[in-house]
């Protein structure tokens, strides 16, 4: 049985953190208050944690926060919705960063051949991220960044 509730975010103190339990052994946490996530496997020494950390950009590792009460490590979330846009942590280090929101724009049919889908023969991207019009948001404005790319609107 899946368990779900909204709790206060241990990292930011905000009141919009989703706690879900998709299986008896795993509990997921996703905070819309600050944009960070974790789960019950995100502890140093756990295989899942080590796999995640090994693939993260330096900024995400720098921003990682360990909850002193639970030992769970929280890291920034990245949203990538091809038809809407992308929200990601952007900056040089934990004292100089923000959320970046970029909308996706449709690639004209005649230019799609210049944007192949990796690992897919004769398939091409329909959208690309409009990096020229990036908007920035503070940590506690994560939900505003999601709204900027239209994540809460129907397509």
How confident is the model at residue 34, as a pLDDT?
Answer: 96
Query: Residue holding tokens 């769970």?
Result: 72
> What would the mean pLDDT of 121-149 be, rounded to a whole number?
93
Stretch 68-90: mean pLDDT, rounded? 95
CA-based angle 29:81:41, to the nearest 5? 25
| Residue 29 pLDDT grade (very low, low, confident, very high; cuts 50, 70, 90) | very high
Mean pLDDT throughout 87-96? Answer: 96
pLDDT confidence of 1, banded at 50, 70, 90?
A: low
In this prediction, residues 82-96 reach a mean pLDDT of 94
Q: How confident is the prediction for the chain on average, in pLDDT?
A: 93
What residue spans of 39-101 are helical by DSSP H?
47-55, 58-63
44-77 residue pLDDT tens:
999 999 999 999 999 999 999 999 999 999 999 9
- Per-residue confidence (pLDDT) for residue 75, from 0 to 100: 97
Classified as helix, coil or strand, 86 is strand
Mean pLDDT calculated for residue range 20-28: 92
Between 59 and 114, the higher pLDDT residue: 59
For residue 4, how far is the Cα from the chain centroid? 20
Q: Please state, as a whole number, how many other Cβ atoms lie within 10 Å of the Cβ of residue 109.
A: 9
Q: Which phi and psi angles does 9 have, rounded to 5°? A: -70, 120
Question: What is the arithmetic mean of pLDDT over 92-96?
Answer: 94
Q: pTM to 2 decimals? A: 0.87
Q: Flag whether pLDDT at 155 surpasses 60.
A: no
Residues 6+ apart with CB under 8 A from 9: 15, 16, 17, 31, 33, 34, 36
pLDDT recorded at residue 154: 67
* β-bridge mates for residue 31, sequence order: 17
């Amino acid at each position: 049985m899946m368990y779900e509730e909204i709790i206060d975010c241990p990292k930011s103190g905000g009141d919009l953190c989703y706690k879900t339990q998709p299986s008896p052994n795993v509990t997921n946490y996703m905070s819309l208050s600050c944009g960070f996530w974790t789960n019950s496997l995100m502890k140093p020494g756990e295989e899942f944690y080590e796999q995640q950390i090994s693939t993260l950009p330096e900024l995400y590792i720098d921003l990682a926060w360990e909850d002193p009460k639970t030992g769970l490590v929280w890291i920034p979330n990245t949203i990538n919705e091809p038809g809407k846009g992308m929200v990601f942590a952007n900056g040089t280090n934990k004292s100089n960063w923000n959320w970046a929101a970029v909308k996706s724009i449709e690639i004209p049919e005649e230019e799609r051949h210049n944007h192949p889908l990796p690992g897919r023969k004769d398939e091409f991207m329909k959208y690309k991220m409009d990096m020229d019009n990036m908007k920035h948001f503070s940590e506690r404005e994560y939900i505003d960044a999601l709204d900027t790319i239209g994540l809460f609107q129907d397509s």
